[in-house]
A and B are shown apart, each in its own frame.
Chain A
Amino acid sequence: MGDIVNLKINGKDYQAPKGKLLIEVCLENGIHVPNFCYYPDLTPQAACRMCLVRIEKMHKLATSCTVEVGEGMVVHTETEELLEARKGMLDFILGNHPLDCPVCDKGGQCELQDMVFEHGTVYAHYNVKKQATPEWRLSPFIAYDPQRCVRCYRCIRECTEVMDVNALGKIFRGTHEVIGPYGLGMDKRGMDKGYSLDCEQCGNCVEICPVGALLSVDSRFRSRPWDMKETVTTCTHCGDGCQINLGVRGNDYVRVASKDMKGINGEFLCVKGRYGCSFISSQERITKPMIRRGDKFEEVSWEEALRFTANKLKEISAKNKDSVAILGSPRLTNESSFTLRRFAEKGLGTSNFGQVADSDWDRFFANLTAPIATHNQVKKAKNILMIGGDATENHPLSAMVIRYAVRKHNANLMVVNSRRTKIARRQAKLFLHIRPESEAAIVAAIFESESELARLADLAKVKVEQLQKLREKVLGSEELTIVVGPEVQGATLEAVAQLAGFLNKERAVNYLPLAKYNNSIGSVDMGLKPNGHNLMKAFGSQIQALYLAGSNPVEQYGKDWENALRKLSFLAVAELFMTQTARLADVVFPVNSFAEQDGTFTNNATQVQRVQRALEGAGQVRPDWMVINALAREMRVDIGAKGSSVSIFRDVTAELASYNGITYERIKKESAVQTTRALAQTKDSSIICKDLAAECSKINTSAELNKTNVAQGEGLFRIGTMTRHSPVMQEAFGESKEEKAETVNA
């Protein structure tokens, strides 16, 4: 940019960067210009002609959403002539509009209603019979009512540009035009199979539709916007940590929306965030504490459950403190994770505590040599090196910002992955398709001398020229964003964390770790090491009792865990649902979901965001931290218990340097507050090379490349402990349909 131009709007002088869209200059300066098809960050369309303005010396009215500002431009946005012109356009739009606002989900939040309200009486010149059209159910998630559609094409551009899915098109033309997927309207040839929208089901098209044309099936007819209470909170599914607006009516889930939100994700959400949160109102939630009697569970009072558990833990701990273990999960809030650790350390004095997770983020942060990038910073990245991870399927917001960097300024994206991920296929400038579990060889190629390249390329089964190119790019770029996936672990992950230091401090390097769960990083910060799998090996021997919160390892990791848990003499589980793991417990505590409590999560950009109570939990559910406090009280041990999430968080910030200075008030103001991490010393590269060599020696060189493309939905549509209880997710992707799908703790 650079050049600034002077222009006059409605008689006042303004300055703006040359080439900026006139409508954006107006809106940013508080000058209202009506619009439908204009949308920030989407390509201009000029379809609705509501944004007409008069520019002096131009012989016709101009659409301000396509005109770029220039020096000396004189613009009028509020004249009688313009009002008339815009009313005329509205008349076209309303020509076939059903005006069924009373039964439209959008009523009250509709841009067309606002527009009519703003323009006063509309003419209704078109006195012809309206073309009534039936509504289409495009997918289990999305319905389309063509008659309400104003043909702004926001949805299509969102799907193509932002999502890179390209599922929607404008079909037929003129008054018959509809929005839909391939095949829509061709029922004669059997192409209109009902569920024909073959896409990521993110619902972002629904969110940005100005009217009630695209609709979310799961919340249809459930509530008028003004009848529900909306609470801004953080999504509980993946590590990206999108802000969601959770709508609740009475004490029931209605919907998740994101319109006009200012958080890290803007209006973006994925299928899990938007449609996978209704589990909170599932009838299958457990609502009362239970104690096992034989092979049955009996509902008991909190007092009894706590007393029973306290006695058991005391009894087992009396012989050997370490025989009691505490395991949290990457799903719990920081406040609960912190309390769990305090309970383990101060209350029980056991050294056996941590969480059930398969990641090494603790080792990553211990070796980190550059700051963590926020998603907004990734949008601006010039060079991105992505080692492992499938952001499209498992970290949809991260995928979106990476695509943004490529789409908006042609970022140089380099992908190293053992799978043919969508980003690798569609956005990468350089894709090193490596042998399974051979990331170490590629990382080593950056640290090692050039003479090693041929050998390392062989190990990873990539072409040496490709590896050479990657190495040159990484060593040569002034700015670099390193995105690292959850399958990269151990010494390889440590080496990745050391890479910035190795590249020297003059360059602007930052990292984005793709942590799997909503609080993978926060829970590690709170001191719960991802060591569950190690502790599990001691179940029944050194470890006799376990308090397990928020994890379902039996479903996630299978038989080994089940057998191990059965060896314990006492198992307490705090859960939302009667999971396969909870079924093995001696006592089960019903706890609050994320939607029923206050607290914080720390996302994969290490930003702390708020979890806010949107509804009361049903029955007698309590937050995890409160259960722990009560248990400590019952055991008569002092863990410095605090009676509210805000005071626990104060303890967190006092204890952890990286959380210093973060308060709920500050988060409220800034939406997300990034933690500040002390950077590690840069190790001598010969040490790193040695560690990597050890990792390289583990590579199975007979493993073939996995040539199949990652299918749409591999991660996004996978059903887990929570999403299983979201009716619409279950209907669309549930196990009943396929033979019991691979499931995760999602």
Chain B
Amino acid sequence: MFSPEIEKKIDNTIEKYPHKRSALLPLIHIAQNEQGHITEEAIAYIAERLDLVPVEVYEVATFYSMYFLDPIGKYNLQVCRTISCMLCGAYDLIEHLQNKLNIKIGQVTSDGRFRLTEVECLGSCSTAPAMQINFDYHENLTPEKVDQILAKLP
């Protein structure tokens, strides 16, 4: 179901582990990165590759908060809300983003461009408040800075 290149990556990943099923987490990541979220087809495919049944993949996919079972939009805005960021104004950022995008935490904008979510400590407390967009960090944020960042996104 994936391109030959990705299939190869999957083969290599499975090979790394003495027990096939141990490759479950990385495989879900690969599938998610390919498709944007975890599709039913991907669950069936992974189960088949690892000699699991779909419910076993589903258990893991629903357990971790960085696996997405529904489309999450083009940009996943993950605002840190743990202590340091909270003290430095994370809640204002969240408030601002909710108003600006007209969505609540956990929702996706109707054009499918942004998803807003709060996350726990990103390990960037010294530059709080912090936010991660997909895999990129943005630090020392203010509402204005957030506006500029979003405006610059392709």
Q: How far is the CA of A541 from the CA of B63 in the complex (A)?
A: 72
Partner of A185, one of B40, B56, B62: B62
Binds B, one of A167-175, A523-531, A654-662, A700-708: A167-175
On chain A, which size bracket covers the interface? 10 to 19
Q: How far is the CA of A167 from the CA of B54 in the complex (A)?
A: 9
Give chain B's interface secondary structure class: helix
Q: Are A168 and B69 in contact (CB under 8 A)?
A: no
Q: Are A166 and B62 in contact (CB under 8 A)?
A: no
Query: Quick one: which of A168, A169, A170, A191 has the most chain B CB within 10 A?
Result: A169
Query: Quick one: which of A173, A182, A186 has the most chain B CB within 10 A?
Result: A182
Q: Are B54 and A182 in contact (CB under 8 A)?
A: yes
Q: Are B62 and A181 in contact (CB under 8 A)?
A: no
Q: How far is the CA of A181 from the CA of B57 in the complex (A)?
A: 11
Partner of B53, one of A172, A182, A188: A182
Q: Are A191 and B40 in contact (CB under 8 A)?
A: yes
CB neighbours of A185 from chain B (8 A): 62
CB neighbours of B40 from chain A (8 A): 189, 191
Q: Are A181 and B55 in contact (CB under 8 A)?
A: yes
CB neighbours of A181 from chain B (8 A): 55
Q: Are A167 and B55 in contact (CB under 8 A)?
A: yes
Q: How far is the CA of A186 from the CA of B70 in the complex (A)?
A: 9
Cβ of A183 under 8 Å from chain B: yes
Q: A182-B53, A189-B40, A191-B40 are in contact. Are A169 and B70 (CB under 8 A)?
A: no
Q: A182-B54, A189-B40 are in contact. Are A170 and B59 (CB under 8 A)?
A: yes
Chain A, range 490-525, C-beta contacts under 8 Å to B: none
Q: Are B56 and A169 in contact (CB under 8 A)?
A: yes
* Closest-CB distance, A300 to chain B (whole angstroms): 57
CB neighbours of B63 from chain A (8 A): 170, 172-173
Q: Are B70 and A166 in contact (CB under 8 A)?
A: no
Partner of B70, one of A173, A182, A183, A189: A189
* Closest-CB distance, A405 to chain B (whole angstroms): 22
* Closest-CB distance, A587 to chain B (whole angstroms): 54
Cβ of B91 under 8 Å from chain A: no
* Closest-CB distance, A385 to chain B (whole angstroms): 26
Q: Are B69 and A169 in contact (CB under 8 A)?
A: no
Partner of B58, one of A171, A173, A188: A171
Contact code string B30-50 (vs A, CB < 8 Å = 1, else 0): 000000000010010000000
Q: Are A188 and B59 in contact (CB under 8 A)?
A: no
CB neighbours of A172 from chain B (8 A): 62-63
* Closest-CB distance, A155 to chain B (whole angstroms): 12
Query: Quick one: which of B43, B55, B69 has the most chain A CB within 10 A?
Result: B55
CB neighbours of B70 from chain A (8 A): 188-189
Report the nearest B residue to A183, measured CB to CB: B58
CB neighbours of B58 from chain A (8 A): 169, 171, 182-183
Q: Are A166 and B59 in contact (CB under 8 A)?
A: no
Interface of A toward B, CB cutoff 8 Å: 166-173, 181-183, 185-186, 188-189, 191
Beyond contacts A182-B55, A182-B58: 8 other A-B pairs, Cβ-Cβ < 8 A, are: A166-B56, A169-B56, A171-B59, A172-B62, A173-B63, A183-B58, A186-B69, A189-B69
The 9 closest A-B pairs by CB, nearest first: A169-B55, A169-B59, A182-B55, A182-B54, A173-B63, A166-B53, A172-B62, A171-B62, A182-B58
Q: List 14 A-B contacts (CB under 8 A).
A: A167-B55, A169-B55, A170-B63, A171-B58, A171-B62, A172-B63, A173-B62, A173-B63, A181-B55, A182-B55, A182-B58, A189-B40, A189-B69, A191-B40
